[in-house]
Every structure is written in structure tokens, then in C-alpha cells.
Amino acid sequence: MRNILFSGNVKVFDGILTGMLSIFMRTKSTEPYRIYIFTMDVSHLREDFLPVSDEQIAFLNEVAKSYNKENIVIKIDVTDIYKEEFAGCPNEGAYCSPYTLLRLFADKIPEIPDKLLYLDADILFNREPELLYDIDVKGYEYAAARDHYGKYLINPNYINAGVLLFNMAEIKKTGLFEKARHLIKTKKLLFADQDAVYRSTTAKKMLPQKYNDQKFLHKSTIIRHFSKRLFYLPYPHTANIKQWNVSAIHRIFKYEAFDDILFEYIYLKKKFEQDTKR
């Protein structure tokens, strides 16, 4: 069983659906996937900060099992843990949302296995997920690729926390997440979760950029991460184009490599919307 972790609120449905489809449609393995989704209700901070719904989980689980009957999607509500750990902390208004902090609770959930691949909801696999998941992380807390901009602006080995292959046994031994949570609670950080993980690391395995390509798509790219990026034309500006913005993926990036995934996503999203109207 391969173990995947996503996190977010009710609005990450499109990202998790497309990310899951890319896993199932690119894998060459028959081994099943267990997909955990950390979520919470912090609607007191913002009205739309609501947990992933049970209807969304049920549909994602149905999709997962259509590819392998042993696949499973599991929702874990961490609202109480969040309130205990981070309520009112300096990073509650993180650059993205407080949901970016939820991966830091993985050591506090008893059922989380020793090997876990964390994925942001704005990724697509271009090649087989097992090329990443099967990397040996013995003796390391995690494996990660460099942050495309941070490796120039912050440190050559500054990591991007959107794709992290966790060795949970080692993390519990070194206290990585405990240290990261302490930083979140005591210091205002520019890139809250990412900075906290980076600063708290004892031993990390650096991966080539192809395992988390945040700007380009090559034949060798294993994960294309659709994070915010800088464009120089027609004038310098940033844009946050996600994979579920299908027309923009074609019009701006001119990608065709993900068409099978995105066309299936369009069909399934429409089916979900029709089913929930009944």
C-alpha cells in the first residue's frame, strides 16, 4: 500500500481530484493507494474555511476504487489539533491559508504510516508516481526538491514543501514536526510551513528538480507543480495558474501532456455536480 497525504478545505476538491487522477492514470504498478486528506473547520477566520465535505470524500473514494478496488480515501478532521496548537499564532494568516500548516500534524495522527508522500493540491504526475514514492529515505527525515525561486533567493538547498516524501519514523525520532510547530507558534515566517520545515530539518535527501518542477514541463518531469510563477512577457508579472484551469493550461502553457487527465476531470466534476443536485 502506498500512502499519500493531501490537505485543505472544501475548495481543494478540484486539486485533489486531478492529483488523484494523475496518480491512477500514470502509475504502472498494481499496488493500491491509501489517500489521507487532512481538513478542518476554521470558518471563524473566514466563511469559506470549511472542511472537505463528506460528499466530496465519498465521490473521491468512488473514483479511487474505480481504478483499484483496494484504493481508499480517508478524511481526517484535525480541527481540534489546530485549535490546540495554532489558534491565534503569528502565522495563522499564512501567505496561502492556515491549511498549509496541517501537514505538520502528521506525527500526531496514530494511523499515519511510516512512509508518507505529502502533495500540495496543485500538482500533476507526468510520469509514474512510484519513481518518487519508492525512493529510499532511510536515515533521512524526508526527501524534497529545491524551491525554484528560493534556491536563488534564500539558499541553494532551500526546499519546496509542496512535495515531501516523509520518513515518519525518523521524523518522530528527531522531533522535526515538534520543532516546526514551535517555530510556527513563536515566530512570524514569510513562507510559514515551508520555512518551519526547512529550519527544523536535521537530515534531508535532496532530489533533482524533475521530482517537483515548479516552472517547466520536460519529458523527464515526474511532477509538474502549478505553483505561482513569474512571467516576463508581455511585462514582468506573477500568475497562479492551476491545473483545473483547463483553458489556461492550453492557452498559456500550451500543454497537451495532461489532456487525458484533464478531460477525465471535466467529466467527473460535471458528474459530481449533477449527483449533488439530486
In the chain, what are the domains? 2-277 (3.90.550.10)
pTM: 0.94
Written as tens digits, the pLDDT of the chain (278 aa) is: 999 999 999 999 999 999 999 999 999 999 999 999 999 999 988 999 999 999 999 999 999 999 999 999 999 999 999 999 998 888 887 667 899 999 999 999 999 999 999 999 999 999 999 999 999 999 999 999 999 887 888 889 999 999 999 999 999 999 999 999 999 999 888 888 999 999 999 999 999 999 999 999 999 999 999 987 666 567 565 667 899 999 999 999 999 999 999 999 999 999 999 988 76
Question: Do β-strands 33-39 and 2-7 pair in parallel, antiparallel, or remain unpaired?
Answer: parallel
**Dist CA 38 CA 193 (whole Å):** 15
The confidence score (pLDDT) of residue 96 equals 72
Can you give the pLDDT at residue 187? 87
What residues contact 231, with CB distance under 8 A and at least 6 apart? 237, 238, 239
**Predicted local distance difference test score (pLDDT) of residue 251:** 92
Tell me the backbone φ, ψ of residue 269, rounded to 5 degrees.
Answer: -60, -45
- The Cα–Cα gap between 102 and 100 comes to 6
Distance CA 224, CA 262 (A): 14
pLDDT for 4 equals 98
Alpha carbons 157 and 150: distance in angstroms, whole number: 8
